[in-house]
Structure 1
Amino acid sequence: MCSSDKTDIEIALPKARRGFRSHLNGIIDYKKANPISLYACFLTGYTSAMSFSACFIWCGFQTGNVAMLGIAVARTFDPEYERTYHFEKPDQQALVSVLSFLIGTSLGRIGDRMGPKKRSWLILASFIQCLCCLAAALTAHYSGEGPYATSRWGPSWATPLGLVCLAFMSASLGLQGIVGKRIGSPMNTTVVLTTTWVEIFNDPLLLSLKKQTGRDVRIGGVLTLLLGAFVSRALTNACNGAAGAIGCLCALRMIQLVWWWFIPSPPEE
């Protein structure tokens, strides 16, 4: 009996390991990913609200930052403006955010190789984002800067460590953007909502009282982003600084990481 039981255990363990590995390397059912996409919108609002409060830079919405850089270049040719041949601090912050966002989203090439809908990649991507947020929390703490700008030309996060904090936060949302795009969420990248607004108000079923998954998810994305920004500001006040609020963001990212594990695979897999 003991020998037989031992044999059964020895057989069961490899099966369990194979089951774990198979689940980890399986793909998720994108039709079941709408709730986690809404959660990603919440994280977008949470993250961007902190960067805007500190230095008027949206670390997830890069269109405005690119336009800001264009204005900065144009100022050097304005005869009525005191010409400066260097970027002012807000312009430097916009540049750091744009470049870091691009670096973050370029990590999506790893996902393209692993499989953009593979559970292993989605968990790894969330782990990388968590590390970025942890690095941002540490640099925000050691920069010694406050969580709020004093004026448009007196931004916080202006020291080298503050810029690094902004860079890590922007990179985390860049990676989130390509993850959302690749899984085929109705929220598209889960980062930029301009397209979402256009799709909502041009939906022929906008006023329908029946359940419409695409419309309902998009409206939910807007509302969860709004909620994320609200919670971010409230926690920044409660934590008495950006470092604590970004630390909470790390925990929120870990929830996302675990969540990917429980999203089922497509029925046909």
Structure 2
Amino acid sequence: MSGSDKTDVELASPKAPRGLWAYLDSSIDPKKSNPISLYACLLTGYTSALSFSACFIWCGFQTGNVAMLGIAVARTFDPEYERTYHFEKPDQQAVISVLAFLIGTSLGRIGDRMGARKRSWLILGTFIQCLCCLAAALTAHYSGEGPYATSRWGPSWATPLGLTCLAFLSASLGLQGIMGKRVGSPMNTTVVLTTTWVEIFNDPLLLSLKKQTGRDVRIGGVLALLFGAFLSRALTNACNGAAGAIGCLAALRMIQLVWWLFVPSPPEA
């Protein structure tokens, strides 16, 4: 068959059909993921405000929890302190949060196998986060504990069911963190914003009046987290408890799940 004949056959051949699975198996364009990354920051603020109000634990910001554990160990060697050779309840909550966060973020290995930017994984990963939020809502409800701590040493979510609620929320943010990191938005993990603050105030174009995508997205992420925390506290009061507010969080996660369907794919080379 001559070269011209091959060309004619190729031109005449129909393109392979693109069904639903082919679309789900496609990748998203990281350059178009900034809006959904800002939404993830809102969910970070919302989720972390719930756990902090209940037991002074940031279920998404694990640096402080690890430092807490270091202080807890040091107390056993302090002659001025009544020595205890076990972790107090706040320390136990910090341990639970750290471990659950690590388990959640380790689920990102599934995404590495499926394709970290593929729509199928982003939808599946978000669905797992939805399930974690639903489980957290149920355990918060059946624990019978209030949404607010009475004091630093009188935290809520201190029963086994309360600790389980904290674990599910921490795991959901651990998974969100690795998904955000793999997507490659300027918001990085969408969970820890300390680096974001550093990048904002060391941006040479910080005061520029022109549009600067990286700077603008980072500032938007901080504001989104702030609004998420505000919304969390408002809904906790409106729902008369943490269980209802966490149920609302599950609904917000479902919005994120559907949103992944509409994030554009990168332009074909």
* Bin for the TM-score computed over the shorter chain: over 0.9
Quote the Cα distance in structure 2 between the aligned partners of 1:37 and 1:17: 31
Alpha-carbon distance in structure 2 between the residues aligned to 1:94 and 1:215: 33
Give the Cα–Cα distance (whole angstroms) in 2 for the partners of residues 177 and 21 of structure 1: 26
Name the aligned partner's letter for residue 94 of structure 1: A
Residue matched to 1:113: 113
- Please give the residue correspondences for 1:118-197 in structure 2 after superposition, counting only pairs within 5 Å: 118-197=118-197
State the Cα deviation string for residues 161-207 of structure 1 (Å, max 9, x = none): 00000000000000000000000010000000000000000000000
Q: Using a 3 Å threshold, how does the CA distance of structure 1 residues 163 and 204 change in structure 2: closer, same or farther?
A: same
Give, in whole Å, the separation in 1 of the partners of 2:23 and 2:77.
58
Q: What is the Cα deviation at residue 266 of structure 1?
A: 0.5
Deviation at 1:19, TM superposition (A): 1.8
Q: Structure 2-normalised TM-score?
A: 0.93
Q: What residue ranges of structure 2 are gaps of 5+ in the alignment?
A: 1-14
Deviation at 1:18, TM superposition (A): 4.2
**In the aligned structure 2, how far is the partner of 1:190 from the partner of 1:34?**
10
Which residue does the alignment assign to 2:41? Answer: 41
> In the alignment, does 2:249 pair up with 1:224?
no
In structure 2, the partner of 1:245 is 245
Shift of 1:72: 0.2
Offset of residue 264 of structure 1: 1.1
Q: Which runs of 5+ in 1 are unaligned?
A: 1-14
Aligned partner letter, 1:60: G
> Aligned with 2:27: secondary structure?
coil
1:9 — aligned with what? none
| Aligned match of 2:12 | none
What is the SS of the residue equivalent to 1:209?
A: coil
**Structure 1 residue 51: deviation in Å?**
0.2
2:10 aligned residue: none
State the 4+ residue runs in structure 1 displaced beyond 4 angstroms. Answer: 15-18
> Equivalents in 1 of 2:241, 2:50: separation in Å?
10
Q: What residue in structure 1 maps to residue 9 of structure 2?
A: none
Paired position in structure 1 for 2:5: none
For 2:101, give the aligned amino acid: F
- Identity percentage of aligned residues: 88
Give the structure 2 partner of residue 257 of structure 1. 257
Distance 2:128 2:103 in 1: 13
Q: Which amino acid aligns with 2:267?
A: P
Number of aligned residue pairs: give it.
255
